Amino acid sequence: MGLDQYVTVREKGEELHYWRKHNALQGWMQRLWESRGGTGEFNCAEVYLYKDDLDKLETDIKAQQLPEQSGFFYGPDSRFDEDRIEDDLEFIKKAREALANDKDVIYSSWW
């Protein structure tokens, strides 16, 4: 068991990106979800990602400003892991391309 995180493209139901126990990203996405009115437990919830979201996420990743987030299934702190930073930036590139092709980009997680 643990935190599994996905970004899918709605039109084809295809997986665009996957993370395992990236708790800092989970915290960032939870705050985005809450800013859009999400309440309750952030588990199996969907968050649509838009260009402005990706721009802000990229800025926060590069500045190492993802929030500290903990949970029983979340694993160790992932905020400053250089491999994760590179992987996150690769995800943003793929997500921007999907948006440019008029696809919906959706984050979800399960723990």
Q: What is the pLDDT of residues 30-68, one digit of tens each?
A: 999 999 999 999 999 999 999 999 999 999 999 999 999
Give me the pLDDT at residue 108, please: 97
Mean pLDDT of the chain: 94
pLDDT of 77 strictly over 70? yes
CB 3 within 8 A of CB 71: yes
Q: State the pTM of this model.
A: 0.91
* Residue 93 belongs to domain spanning: 4-110
The closest of 87, 71, 83, 85 to 23, measured between CA atoms, is: 71
**What's the mean pLDDT in 76-93?**
94
**Looking at the 3D structure of the chain, how many domains does it have?**
1
